[in-house]
Amino acid sequence: MNDDQKELFIKLTHFLGQVLGKNYEVVFHIISKEGSCIAAIANNHISGRSQNSPLTDLASKLVQEKAYLKQDFLCDYKASTKYNTLLRGSTFFIKQKDKLVGILCINHDTTELRAAVHKIIELENLKGFDDFLPLCEKQDKHDTLASSESLSESIEDILAQNIDLKLLNSGFALTSTQKNEIICKLYKKGIFNIKGAISIVAKFLKISEPSVYRYLNKLKKL
């Protein structure tokens, strides 16, 4: 993706943020060999994220599994923030000749909508009308690739969801096999697609960055 294309999607992100309104967070991620990073974000009060925040756990996994080769976008899947706010997420894959160069995500905070629907059902005594509730309260049976997404503010938050950081910080000495298992788990979930992930994983595992690269090179050959 060249600079002109990046600028176009940055402007589009802020445009969509204003058009859709305060209940829609719009995020533009750039995907490169160095990893992913947020190039623009609108209405970030919803998740609390910034341009320093990482790619989500779900998006990282989708990149790792190359889901973008099978479809151009995903719509209306479950997402949540660290504040436990329920959202409906949608992801558009930005591709150039089947190469993923970016991701445009829209996360809809339906809190006010759900509250309004619940109030109407309560006021009108509409028992059995739960099918009218917004989809964010139940998992869409058609959600195959995207089941649930956590919008994390840092790579550390994502690591905490996948490995026991308390154990790593306890001074317990991991064996080479244990380190390999941890790196393998993070690799399969696409964590290393996040820019800066290698240095942070190396820090937590108390090994050098070249050591992480060696582990990853072995996995890529399998």
124 part of a folded domain: no
Q: Can you point out the beta strands (E) in 14-130?
A: 24-32, 35-42, 73-81, 86-96, 99-109
State whether 99 and 174 are in the same domain. Answer: no
The answer to whether residue 53 sits within a structural domain is yes
Same-domain check for residues 20 and 55: yes
Reported as a single tens digit per residue, the pLDDT across 176-202 is 888 888 899 888 888 888 888 888 888
Instruction: Give the pLDDT band (50/70/90) at residue 128.
Output: low
Same domain (yes/no): 24, 97 = yes
What pTM did the predictor assign?
Answer: 0.74
Note whether 102 and 205 are same-domain residues.
no
| In-domain check, residue 217 | yes
Euclidean distance between CA atoms 155 and 191, whole angstroms = 8
Residue 57 lies in a domain: yes
Q: Are residues 82 and 189 in the same domain?
A: no
C-alpha separations of 136 from 43, 62, 71, 119, 133 in Å: 19, 20, 22, 17, 8
Q: Convert the pLDDT of each residue in 44-73 to its tens digit.
A: 999 989 888 888 888 888 888 899 999 999
Instruction: Say yes or no: 31 and 50 in one domain.
Output: yes
On whether residue 52 sits in a domain, the answer given is yes
* Domain match, 144 and 201 both: no
149 and 52 assigned to the same domain? yes
Whether 139 has a pLDDT exceeding 50, the answer reads no
Are 42 and 25 contacting, i.e. CB atoms less than 8 angstroms apart? yes
Domain-embedded: residue 123: no
* Interacting residues of 178 by C-beta distance below 8 A, sequence separation 6+: none
Residues 139 and 211 in one domain: no
Considering the domain boundaries, does residue 122 fall inside one?
no
Same domain, 15 and 101: yes
What's the pLDDT band for 145 if we cut at 50, 70, 90?
very low
Q: By residue range, what is the domain housing residue 212?
A: 159-221
Number of domains in the chain: 2
Pair (29, 97) in one structural domain: yes
Tokens (6 digits) for 107: 């996360």
- Torsions phi, psi for 3 (to 5 deg): -65, -35
Residue 146 lies in a domain: yes
